[in-house]
Structure 1
């Protein structure tokens, strides 16, 4: 059986036609799933019983089970641990902002990138998620909060560009008017810097935001934090970012997790500024989430503010990420690791 969420509308209409059904039934099914949040064929009232039987013989609606849901008492952030049909676990985080609800989704079960500050990479990657399994996180989260999600960040467990084809199909799927109609400019894709895939992504000429997990001003420091730095140099990544901007005219976002006494010194800020000068970008400074799998410590707030001051001096637009859900371990991979260990 196939997950119907992996199908776009044209593919489902084709299936209807091939199975002696009217093509418009595909649109009706999509409306039940994506517009009304109905995840059982039997509950789709305007679908004939004979059509429902065919659907049930060929498809399942792959909505994961919410195993655990944590709600922050500080800011209404919700962290949801999802379980798929095969028993694999991933997590998503829903954050409430003035401009709407944003969700951070996972693209893989686990991750093979090995970044030392991230809990989702502990234990490596298990498998890729399909496009339907990614969009299912958004659908189930909307049901959980009983509200629409308007912004998506591909920044949960997994490296999105390591699951390129499924992630691209997901972006087109979630952007479609027939599904959730979330604008591409409301979608952010975060990568640790797989250079050939950044260039391939540029060729799609999407209007999403590309976010690069930089976290260091030079290769020497970056190699101590991120194994990917042993394959692609900082300069190669920055050149790929320039190529992406030239193809899409979309400003690049650089993520920089500050680690006490590792990458948070004033000279680090000066070096980073020199590397980013001339690139149309925004820097997002992130107070690191401490995890038990490493000894990284969070920088002091004064240090973070001083770091920002240097970047601002060089006219590099910089913000300090607001910590969301700090009381519920809302960092990538923490809840999954806790659940598995338990």
Structure 2
């Protein structure tokens, strides 16, 4: 039996960044600009630049008085992230960016371009405290929660990249570094800013935003009551408590049954189908009996309101964990589907650029 793993549900104390425009609600923004000696209508002008034109430098906001631009920049637009390096794969369609935050913390985001959409995978924490042993981020532990601005600005930068290419960012998935529901309030604010129309947000469809979780059951229920229509993705990885206690240590707090009960509540409240994420690991969770059990439990709990994404594991260097062979993967998918549960294999991107979350940050720390 492996040693018990200590989970980190709260971030260690590290310096949060200086306040950013996106950290503030409307009243706070008005208060901030009036403190700078500006009328409150300037808030709307600034918001149109940030969310509508994807500009974050007040020095380029020419409808602001020239004498006010530097003051606005200093007070509300600190540099949140500095690009460390960008790696590309899939003929340039996949682009992974490593960012350094104001306190030296490292952060990753991945932009994936497809013929019919562009999806950004963003981080909600620097590191992760959930301690899943097959995950590069989990192996590194939790540095701290990200601020609202650090989450939202990942989206703005990617949207600006797509705009410069003549395209459009269409999808955002909270599947990068961290457990989104462990940084609940900031993630919720970020979701609202991503989905509200300009000048209050970037205007993405809420149905094109996915929030993932390893199974924080009370937070899933809380999210269900927010009257949002984002997609919930639950990283289950095995249907039985015995193995999940090891693979996803948070299972020691909330069992598979409790997680699926919360997922059913989410489906009931929102009318949305729940996505189940399942990283297939050779000889660990890819057996026929687990495929059968997974299909049976999901069908019983969620009926037709569920879809399984089987994810071929992207192994981290030096790890004992490895992806299942394709033949085993195909049989696993077939057996889940035979229980009446839709099941497909996720299109994997960027394996040659260490695109599993946390790998790039780990390499940078080592260097």
TM-score for the superposition, normalised by structure 1: 0.95
Equivalent residues of 1:63, 1:137 under 8 A apart: no
Match runs of 1:175-194 below 5 Å: 175-177=195-197, 178=199, 179-194=201-216
| Residue in 2 that maps onto 1:248 | 270
Range that drifts further, 17-26 or 278-287: 17-26
Range that drifts further, 246-255 or 41-50: 41-50
Equivalent residues of 2:90, 2:349 under 8 A apart: no
| Residue in 1 that maps onto 2:171 | 151
Spell out, residue by residue over 1:313-334, the C-alpha distance to the aligned partner (whole angstroms, 9 max, x if none).
1221111001111221111100
Equivalent residues of 1:189, 1:209 under 8 A apart: yes
| 1:171 is aligned to 2:191 | yes
SS at match of 2:149: helix
| Residue in 2 that maps onto 1:334 | 359
Match runs of 1:204-223 below 5 Å: 204-223=226-245
SS at match of 2:140: coil
Spell out, residue by residue over 1:176-203, the C-alpha distance to the aligned partner (whole angstroms, 9 max, x if none).
2122111111100010001111111111
* Aligned counterpart for 2:337 among listed residues 295, 312, 319: 312
Shift of 1:292: 2.8
- For 1:160 and 1:89, locate their aligned partners in 2 and report how far apart those are by CA, in whole Å: 17
| Residue in 1 that maps onto 2:256 | 234
Spell out, residue by residue over 1:284-323, the C-alpha distance to the aligned partner (whole angstroms, 9 max, x if none).
0000011135311110111111111111112211110011
| 1:101 is aligned to 2:121 | no
| 1:292 is aligned to 2:314 | no
- For 2:73 and 2:90, locate their aligned partners in 1 and report how far apart those are by CA, in whole Å: 41
Aligned pairs, number:
342
TM-score for the superposition, normalised by structure 2: 0.89
| Residue in 2 that maps onto 1:31 | 48
- For 1:273 and 1:320, locate their aligned partners in 2 and report how far apart those are by CA, in whole Å: 15
Equivalent residues of 2:36, 2:72 under 8 A apart: no
Equivalent residues of 2:140, 2:362 under 8 A apart: no
Equivalent residues of 1:5, 1:62 under 8 A apart: no
Range that drifts further, 99-108 or 37-46: 37-46
- For 2:299 and 2:53, locate their aligned partners in 1 and report how far apart those are by CA, in whole Å: 47
| 1:119 is aligned to 2:136 | yes
